[in-house]
Amino acid sequence: MLQFVLVLLLPLAVSTSPPKADKVVLSTIVDGWAVGMKLEALDRLHPDMIAVATVTNVNGKNVSITFDNWGDGFDYTTDKADADLHPIGFAMYIKHPQKMYKPHNYKGGFSWKKYLLETKSLPVPFAAFTQNQTKGMPKDFYTKMITTDIIQPGS
């Protein structure tokens, strides 16, 4: 199990403007996962929904997530390799019929690039997901979500 502490500068090398002094400080990273990182996850109470989620705990092979601004009644803990967890951009890539649900009460169109900067967050790295979780999604698609202002459909 790989563990280390990481401090990264925003804006995540996603902008052509000079970096700002804002810092993202992550807790210990375990196999690519750290508290505060963002991902897309299936809402188990509403299995037709994929929504924006944040890692709240990493414990060995398990990870706990919360759905951003949806209240803790939807939170769950699962294996990091669970097929319900996905890299950012997944719902758009698979053309999910319900689209991707942005954080509750989020104003305006949702783009991953903008949201990561607003929340001073990093996404769970693409390499941390299994093939079962990416379902053929290429890393380039994931990178595009971070580096461009693509507004998610339905937002």
Using CA atoms, how far residue 151 sits from 32, 68, 84, 89, in Å, is 26, 18, 23, 11
Fold of 3-147: SH3 type barrels. (2.30.30)
Domain positions in the chain are 3-147
Give the global pTM: 0.81
Q: Exposure string (b/e) for 130-140, b if CB count within 10 Å is 16 or more?
A: eeebbeebeee
Q: What is the pLDDT along the chain (155 residues), one digit of tens a residue?
A: 444 334 443 344 344 443 344 445 455 677 899 999 999 999 999 888 999 999 999 999 999 999 998 888 999 999 999 999 999 999 999 998 877 788 989 988 999 999 999 999 999 999 999 999 999 999 999 999 999 988 877 65
